[in-house]
A and B are shown apart, each in its own frame.
Chain A
Amino acid sequence: MGESAAIAGLGMTELGKVYGRSARRLAADAVRRAVADAGLGLADLDGLVVSHGMSGSPGVELAAALGLRDLRVLTQMNAFGATAGAMVAYAAMSVISGAATTVACVFADAPLRPKQSSGAAYERSAREWYGYGGMTAALGFRSVNALYALAARRHMLRYGTTSEQFGAIAVSTRRWATMNPLAQMRDPITLEDHQSSRWVAEPLHLLDCCLVSNGAIAVVITSADRARDLARPPVHIWGWGQGHPGHRRERGSEFGLTTGAAISGPIAMKMAGVTVSDIDLCQLYDCYTYTVLVSLEDYGFCAKGEGGAFVESGALSPGGSLPTNTGGGQLSGYYMWGMTPLSEAVIQARGDGGERQVAKRDVILVSGNGGILDHHSTLILSPHRKEA
């Protein structure tokens, strides 16, 4: 039987308006918690993979901050929102190849400051601008919200997708969040609440946009054989994939219409030996409601252009046919880039979801999205060891 890898530990710091700790300190705390969760000590780690968000830290110096010695794998990775999936894949390959035995993967960010808006944490401003790129930034192209709004509008123009359909995602995601004590936004919302929330960048309302959070999340990856003997139920890594479509900004571009999930999804599912009909639940990167809709199409849960009708059917909600973002995602839960969907997948796979636990959880799809739909990663996870 071939070696395979599993997630043996999950560590999460306090998430949200968490002040007074640097991103590096948060990362160190998350690694310690993940190692303890697995029933291991820091000295058991021989690999560390680090990623950071807007704070620009930590990097590989985190190993020294944790006092780790004689590591066999140490690197920093960045494919923006696709990084978590890429880190887990790299850690799994390290374990399977024998390059390392026990690898922690961590993401940390602390963009929020007291008395500063969430939007300000992700927008640069200046009085002096340089060159053509500086000109477009000065004219407004410095807002991630605006760039996703351009993509969402294109989908609406081409396929007739509506704001109410985006709203269905906001409402179903919040329904899940009401059952997650870790979620930052737990008050129920209605479609009217979504429609009447202020515009951020039309066609995106405030309730189409994710939160911004401070905090850190780490996982520990080791061999499936070893994970079986550790403290928590293993979460087996069945498959992984990446997709970077490189849409050009020119006549005929698919920008806003298709994403890298159309590439990463089939790769990961083939590796896992499953098809889209085998997926029991999804944890999808939901920086915006629209991102969920277009990703669902690209994974093949519905036909291209039918994402709006699919999400309006209630499929994503508690009791629906495809429970999605069961912890409240990034829209209502917490925004830890690709660690948001990954952490909830681990919680669900272990059966730790409490009130929101999904009964059938044999095959879980985890999706990361980075840039402006430029980078995708997919993981297929399961509480069961994959049959050879």
Chain B
Amino acid sequence: MGAMETTKTTETVEIGVLHRDGRTDPFFDGAAEDRLVIRRCEPCGRWYAPDQSGCPDCGADRLSWAPASGEATLVTWTVLHGRPAEDGTAPPPTILGLVELAEGPWLNARLDGVDAGALREGLPLRASFVHPAQGEPYLLFRPA
């Protein structure tokens, strides 16, 4: 697992302030080092998203944390438009997708650095982290 593309200079998404919750802290430990850390079931080897709590396949009630490759492909996407204000102006649209990690699980992904018109099923993407001045880092997916 190599270090992934890093964006430490600008906060590209206005999200408020993100805090740890005591349940998914290893994800943020990894994010601080630009590594995507997700859940894995040690007995059966299956991978899961960071918010999964047990293995529905083999029934294991505990999942470990393990670094993923950060490689993903696009499954589906939406361009989300904000509600127009009374003067007709609208906030810039955001692109959300479901991405399939190379390890198998799907993540809810905010896409960045892509043109909506160029999106297609199977588009190669790569996990990338933004480190805001305040709060925890957050995950974006950018074209690989």
The residues of A with any CB-CB pair to B shorter than 8 Å are 117, 119-120, 126-136, 138-141, 143, 145-146, 149-151, 153-154, 157, 198-204, 248-251, 253, 255-256
Given contacts A135-B139, A253-B106, contact A198 B16 (CB under 8 A): no
Tally of contact residues, B, Cβ under 8 A: 44
For residue B98, CB closer than 8 A to chain A, the reply is: yes
**B78 with A201: CB separation less than 8 A:** yes
Q: B108 near A136 (CB under 8 angstroms)?
A: yes
A contacts with B: majority SS: mixed
Taking CB atoms and an 8 Å cut-off, the chain B residues in 13-35 that contact chain A are: 13, 15-24, 27
CB atoms of A131 and B20 under 8 A apart: yes
Q: Counting CB contacts under 8 A, is B104 at the interface? A: yes
Residue of A nearest to B97 (CB): A150
Closest chain B residue to A249, Cβ basis: B106
For B105, list chain A residues within 8 Å (CB). 249-251
Identify which of B49, B80, B110 contacts A145 (C-beta below 8 A): B80
Q: How many A-B residue pairs have CB under 8 A?
A: 120
Asked if residues B13 and A139 are in contact (CB atoms below 8 Å), the reply is yes
B20 — nearest CB in chain A belongs to which residue?
A: A131
Distance of A323 from chain B, by nearest CB (Å) = 31
**Chain A residues, CB < 8 A from B93:** 199
Q: Are A251 and B108 closer than 8 Å at their CB atoms?
A: no
Please provide the chain B residues from 88 to 128 with a CB less than 8 Å away from any CB of chain A in the complex: 93-94, 96-98, 100, 104-108, 110, 116, 121
Q: Which residue of B lies closest to A157 (CB)?
A: B121
Given the known interface contacts A117-B83, A154-B75, the answer about A128 and B19 at a Cβ–Cβ threshold of 8 Å is yes
| CB-contact partner of A143 in B48, B80, B84, under 8 A | B80
How many angstroms between the C-alpha atoms of A189 and B60 in the bound complex?
53
Q: Report which of B21, B50, B56, B83 forms a contact with A130, defined as CB distance below 8 A.
A: B21
28 A-B pairs with C-beta separation under 8 A = A117-B83, A129-B16, A130-B20, A131-B20, A131-B24, A132-B49, A132-B50, A135-B138, A139-B13, A139-B15, A140-B96, A140-B110, A146-B78, A153-B76, A153-B78, A154-B75, A154-B76, A157-B121, A199-B93, A201-B78, A201-B80, A204-B78, A249-B105, A250-B48, A250-B104, A251-B100, A251-B106, A255-B98
Cβ-neighbour of B18 out of A129, A143, A145, A255 (below 8 A) = A129
